Amino acid sequence: MQVTVVGSGYVGLVASACLAELGQQVICVDSDRAKIDALQRGETPIHERFLPELLARHCGTRLKFTSSLADAVKSSSVIFVAVGTPSTESGDCDLSAVEAVARELSRSVNEYKLVVQKSTVPVCTSEWVRRIMVLNGAPETSFEIASNPEFLREGTAVTDFLYPDRIVVGVNSKRAASLLRDIYRPLTNGSYVRQKNAIPEPDEARIPTRLIETGARSAELIKHASNAFLAMKISFINAVANICEAVDADIEQVCAGIGADARIGDRFLSPGIGYGGSCFPKDLKAFRAIARESGYDFRLLDEVIRINEEQCRHFLRKVRNALWTLKGKRLAVLGLAFKGGTDDVRESPAIAMIELLLREGCEVAAYDPAAMPKCREWLQERVIFAESAYDAAESADAILLLSDWEEFAALDLQRLRRALKYPIVIDGRNLYDREMMAQRGFMYYSVGRPDAFPRESPEHVSQLKKAS
């Protein structure tokens, strides 16, 4: 089957590469000619594990790139729409890009086409797309609209696509359902994983994948409701972690007890400095706007957002408690991306934390394995960008761990301690064991766990007095 993917952003590019990996003939379309030229040269614009391998494997054969939507649509049976839907000032989704694609599609339909919404959109968007296409001249019987929401996590997007928990298809006809079942058959019958060069399956992968068939409206709601629920779990456990700190309990022990309940599970029960990225903040605001327009006051979402916004300020208080005063302090910040494994800094709590530190008069030396190029434009004159975690730590008053990169969990702690002015680590991602850090001579602060200090040797007592 030949398919078109409209949009070469995060979702569109991953979907294009993975659909080609599943055996489809894919044309990826983007109006940005420079971006298309870069992709044709083999450049990978985003940091995502396994994506460079898939692009190298399929570019020029199963996967092609173009800026001509009309040509791509005429030769394709299925068109996936994966364009951006950013938030407006009111929190609604900006659907102007979706509308522009719908208008252009209406001029290119020459026979039956299935138009599949891959972008995260409000409920009823599929009906609006259909209406726009008909108003712009597309015969009503020449196309159908379906919804196929993505559930990709940045950093693991390729494996999430090829080994998903579930595939949701929102369709209104047997014909549309049959086309989408054909596209995803290598996943739903388990044949993909048996291919010679298949991307390795992650732990606990569900093989074969379950395909859930719904109506288009239900599929659109599933995406927003899923992200809202996951964000709620993160805010909930962060609130519980704050209580743990107040009563000297251990959030890891609490999470173990909560997560053992099969009705709750342990995924997304990871306290830290809050969620970020391109999905959760935007999708919560959009879902709240959808509820409001539907006549329902979804105040639970307001509280999820409030807790998340407060979490950075709570962590700043932790930094201040560890250092007493912040003005003039040199701090090593490890992590700029909103999470490890990606270079995405959109809505990153690490960036929000740096902004707060700069306002306090701190000097910040930052390091991130992938995200620094995207931060230089607006942080370059205010932040020192280090070549490594050890360079960032050189003569710093403390280290702040703000992104959960695997690299940060495997640092040479003795080398790190030698580089620091004071052996203070403030861990916003709970990457280290408390007792081990104390044994290595660090004053260690984390989220939702008791602080850990080395034994009070004369050297450590002197360092504690200097730090405060």
* Predicted confidence (pLDDT) at residue 460 exceeds the cutoff of 60: no
- The DSSP bridge pattern shows strands 363-367 and 383-385 to be parallel
For 312-341, write each residue's pLDDT tens digit.
Answer: 999 999 999 999 999 999 999 999 999 999
Looking at residue 441, its pLDDT comes to 95
- The confidence score (pLDDT) of residue 465 equals 53
Give the tens place of pLDDT for each residue, 56-99.
999 999 999 999 999 999 999 999 999 999 988 888 899 999 99
* Strand ordering across the sheet containing 143-147: 63-66, 25-29, 2-6, 78-81, 113-117, 143-147, 166-170, 210-214
What is the average per-residue pLDDT within 115-129? Answer: 95
More confident of the two residues 371 and 459: 371
Reported as a single tens digit per residue, the pLDDT across 134-180 is 999 999 999 999 999 999 999 999 999 999 999 999 999 999 999 99
Predicted confidence at residue 457, as pLDDT, reads: 52
Q: What is d(CA 149, CA 171) in angstroms, rounded to the nearest whole number? A: 12
Give the number of other CB atoms < 10 A from CB of residue 388: 14
On the question of pLDDT at 461 being above 90, the answer is: no
Whether the predicted pLDDT of 422 surpasses 80: yes
Tokens of 371: 């995200």
* pLDDT attached to residue 191: 97
pLDDT confidence bin for 263, thresholds 50/70/90: very high
Burial 139-148 (b: 16+ CB within 10 A, else e): eeeebbbbbb
Give the residue numbers marked as catalytic.
Answer: 279
467 pLDDT more than 60: no
**Average pLDDT of span 389-403:** 98
Segment 84-93, tens digit of pLDDT: 999 888 888 9
Overall average pLDDT of the 16-43 stretch:
96
Q: Tell me what the pLDDT averaged over the chain comes to.
A: 94
Across the range 413-437, mean pLDDT stands at 97
Residue 126 has pLDDT above 60, yes or no: yes
Please report the domains of the chain, with CATH numbers, ordered by start residue. Answer: 2-214 (3.40.50.720), 223-307 (1.10.1040.10), 308-467 (3.40.50.720)
